[in-house]
Every structure is written in structure tokens, then in C-alpha cells.
């Protein structure tokens, strides 16, 4: 074999390029306990990074994806305009029931790619790791075969060999798919609370149920949980090492909600902009059934903006009360924490009047 000739052939296929971040590179993860709002948060993120086109959903959660899609579509209609049904029509779902063979997830992902889905939510990653028929089940079956073939074998003795027989052709193929897919991928993981044997009680934190091979592909992974009022979607992307959260660059962390804040469309759009894309709020929409934001239809954009402002003002009012602020107001596009409240000595009554004035024009 002429190795130099082969190197030259490979070199001819390679091309040096400027370091431009591509939207196809978006891999993003969320993990949390059941009921914390993972699915809805993933849907918000998927819409925010997908200004147009189809969004796929691989559902391994007992066919619960349509519930989350219904909620997310309602949020999107209120935020961007259009109708809930228009937004629901952008989603395509593949339901996966047991056995959760990782290759079935690869197949579902490829099927959604072939449909033209620009972003795909993988709400099945924990199931294909430890669920019925998932990788750990397949590994256990291989261990049993090895012990039956040689009674002197023990589980501890053959565990590594069993993994070497199973993993390269199952879970590793899923990791390769997540790494190389041309679609944006939103990775969802159930979480577990580990037991601390030293103090004989569960630890104070939760971690994703998966191995690091999947989570390392993401540019960020956040923990999702409920607030004290039971409302979901509150995220943390900056946690101590070993607790599952991550971000690959300071600019990514700056675009995301602060630890303990709720995830919104604006955060997803900020990630899209970092990756070189144009958010829906800054570009015409041409999706079927959705009003295009063009000069010929100024009212659609205006109404959506007013709806957004009212929502923001209501949120500001609640936050003011929570902070114990009785005389302050901020603009909808500003952060309460950063706004110099002392410079705007406007009363809550003025805020209420402003809200009513906007509502009167909707």
C-alpha cells in the first residue's frame, strides 16, 4: 500500500475554511425530573431556532408529545402570531414504544430527516439507554449468554466483553447519528437523584440518565425544573462539575436564562443568532397557513407585537410585586435586574393604565 499516495488523495478532498459557525451544528440538551417542563421547554427551543420548515419529534414518553406540542403551539401563536393549529401543523411525530433499541432511534431520526425536518427533538434518549429493550438490557442479555456458555464466568468478569460485543453496533451508532445529523437536534433526558452512601440519603442534585457520549455533543445542556408555584421550564446551565449542566462558550451562557430563570423564545433566538441564523421575529415568515410579516400585512406584525408587549407587561407587574417594588416600571425589552429603577419613578397605576391603553388597540 502506497500510504503517501493515499494521504495525497485525502488532502485533495480537504478544504480550509473560515471559522463560520453553522446552524446545522446546533445540538442542545435539557434534563430534569418528570413534570419539570422538559418537553415544553424543548418545543419552545425548537421553534425559536427553526424560523421556518418542519420540526420533528421522536417520542418515547408514552405518546405524550402531542400534549407538549399543543401547549407550545399556543405559546408560539401568542408570541409570533398565526394560529395554534398553524403551528401544530409544523410538527411531525414518530412514536417509539418498547423495545427501545438505539437503532430504532437512529431509524426514526433518519425518517424525520428524509421528511425535511430542520430540527428534531429526541425525547427518547433515556429510554434507549436504560428502558425496556434499551442498551443496558441488550448488554445484560449478552452477559447472560456468556455466563451460560461458560459457567465459570461472572457478571463482573464478562461485563466489559459484553459491552464490546453490543455497544459499537447499537448505542455508538446513535452517538454517531447525533454527532453527524444535518438537522438541529434537541436532546431530552430524564434525570435521577443519586444516593449518597456516606450520609445515607439522596444527594441534593440530579443528573441526566445517559452516558457522557451523548451529552458531550451538545453546545449546552440545562437542568429544567418547576418553581415554588409548580410552574415548569425554569433552567440552570451553570452548575458544579458532575451535575450534568454545561455550556461550551461564555457567549452561549450569556444568551441563556440566568440560573433559575424560565426559558423563553428569545433565548432560543439568541442561540440561533450566535449560530449565524435569522430568528423568525427578524425575518418574513412564509410557512403555509401563517401570516407573513411583510409590508403588505403590517397589522399581523403589529398585533403580534402588542400581544407580546401585554404579556411582558403583565410579567413585569408580577415580578415587581414579587420584588416588593411599588413604584417602578421598565420597558418590555429590558431586564428588571439591570434597569436603573430610580430613574423611572412611575407608579404601578401608570403601568396599569399603559397596559389598558395597549389592550384597547388590539
pLDDT digits (tens, 9 = 90+) for 339-350: 443 433 333 444
Query: Before 99, cis peptide (omega within 30)?
Result: yes
Instruction: Indicate whether 319 pLDDT > 90.
Output: no
Instruction: Indicate whether 285 pLDDT > 80.
Output: no
- pLDDT score of 201: 72
Tell me how far apart the alpha carbons of residues 166 and 168 are, in angstroms, rounded to a whole number.
Answer: 6
Average pLDDT, the chain: 82
Tell me how far apart the alpha carbons of residues 221 and 247 are, in angstroms, rounded to a whole number.
Answer: 7
**Which residues on neighbouring strands pair with residue 32, listed in sequence order?**
190
Tell me how far apart the alpha carbons of residues 257 and 120 are, in angstroms, rounded to a whole number.
Answer: 22
The more confidently predicted of residues 108 and 309 is 108
Dihedral angle over CA of 282, 92, 174, 98, nearest 10: 150
**Residue 44: partners with Cβ closer than 8 Å, 6 or more residues away:** 72, 75, 233, 263, 264, 265, 268
- pLDDT score of 314: 52
Give residue-wise pLDDT tens across range 125-146.
999 999 999 999 999 999 999 9
- pLDDT score of 52: 93
Grid cell listed for 71 = 401547549
Helix spans in 224-347 (H)? 250-255, 265-274, 298-323
Pairing label, strands 207-208, 195-196: unpaired
The more confidently predicted of residues 184 and 241 is 184
- pLDDT score of 310: 47
Question: What domains appear along the chain, each with residue ranges and CATH number?
Answer: 22-282 (3.40.50), 298-360 (no CATH)
Please report which confidence band the pLDDT of residue 356 belongs to, taking 50, 70 and 90 as the band edges.
low
Return the closest-CA partner of residue 248 out of 269, 280, 275. Answer: 275
- pLDDT score of 38: 96
SS3 call for 152 = coil
| 102, 130 contact by CB (below 8 A) | no
Q: Provide, rounded to the nearest whole percent, the portion of the chain with pLDDT above 70.
A: 76
Grid cell listed for 9 = 488523495
Q: How many CA atoms lie within 13 A of 29 on its CB side?
A: 30
Give residue-wise pLDDT tens across range 291-307.
333 322 333 334 444 44
Please report which confidence band the pLDDT of residue 194 belongs to, taking 50, 70 and 90 as the band edges.
confident
Amino acid at each position: 500500500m502506497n500510504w503517501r499516495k493515499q494521504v495525497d488523495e485525502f488532502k485533495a478532498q480537504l478544504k480550509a475554511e473560515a471559522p463560520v459557525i453553522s446552524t446545522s451544528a446546533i445540538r442542545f440538551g435539557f434534563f430534569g425530573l418528570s413534570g419539570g417542563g422538559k418537553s415544553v421547554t424543548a418545543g419552545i427551543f425548537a421553534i425559536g431556532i427553526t424560523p421556518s420548515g418542519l420540526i420533528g419529534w421522536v417520542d418515547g414518553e408514552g405518546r405524550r408529545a402531542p400534549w407538549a406540542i399543543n401547549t407550545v403551539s399556543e405559546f408560539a401563536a401568542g408570541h409570533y402570531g398565526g394560529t395554534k393549529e398553524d403551528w401544530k401543523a409544523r410538527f411531525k411525530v414518530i412514536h417509539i414504544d418498547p423495545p427501545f433499541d438505539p437503532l430504532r432511534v437512529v431509524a426514526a431520526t433518519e425518517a424525520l430527516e428524509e421528511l425535511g425536518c430542520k430540527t428534531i427533538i429526541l425525547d427518547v434518549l433515556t429510554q434507549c439507554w436504560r428502558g425496556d429493550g434499551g442498551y443496558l438490557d441488550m448488554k445484560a442479555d449478552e452477559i447472560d449468554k456468556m455466563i451460560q456458555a461458560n459457567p465459570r464466568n461472572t457478571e463482573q468478569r464478562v461485563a466489559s466483553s459484553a459491552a464490546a460485543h453490543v455497544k459499537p453496533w447499537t448505542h455508538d451508532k446513535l452517538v454517531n447519528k447525533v454527532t453527524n445529523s444535518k438537522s438541529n437536534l434537541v436532546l431530552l433526558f430524564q434525570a435521577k437523584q443519586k444516593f449518597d452512601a456516606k450520609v445515607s440519603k439522596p444527594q441534593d442534585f440530579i443528573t441526566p440518565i445517559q452516558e457522557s457520549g451523548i451529552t458531550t455533543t451538545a453546545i449546552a445542556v440545562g437542568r429544567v425544573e418547576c418553581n415554588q408555584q409548580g410552574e415548569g421550564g425554569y433552567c440552570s446551565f451553570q452548575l458544579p462539575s458532575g451535575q450534568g449542566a454545561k455550556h461550551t462558550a461564555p457567549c452561549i451562557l450569556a444568551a441563556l436564562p440566568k440560573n433559575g430563570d424560565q426559558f423563553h423564545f428569545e433565548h432560543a433566538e439568541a442561540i440561533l443568532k450566535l449560530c449565524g441564523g435569522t430568528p423568525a421575529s427578524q425575518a418574513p415568515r412564509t410557512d403555509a397557513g401563517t401570516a407573513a410579516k411583510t409590508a403588505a400585512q403590517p397589522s399581523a406584525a403589529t398585533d403580534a407585537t402588542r400581544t407580546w408587549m401585554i404579556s411582558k407587561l403583565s410579567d413585569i407587574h408580577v415580578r415587581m410585586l414579587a420584588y416588593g417594588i411599588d413604584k417602578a416600571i421598565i420597558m418590555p425589552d429590558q431586564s428588571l435586574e439591570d434597569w436603573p429603577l430610580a430613574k423611572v419613578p412611575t407608579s404601578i397605576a401608570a403601568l396599569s393604565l399603559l397596559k389598558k391603553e395597549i389592550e384597547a388597540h388590539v
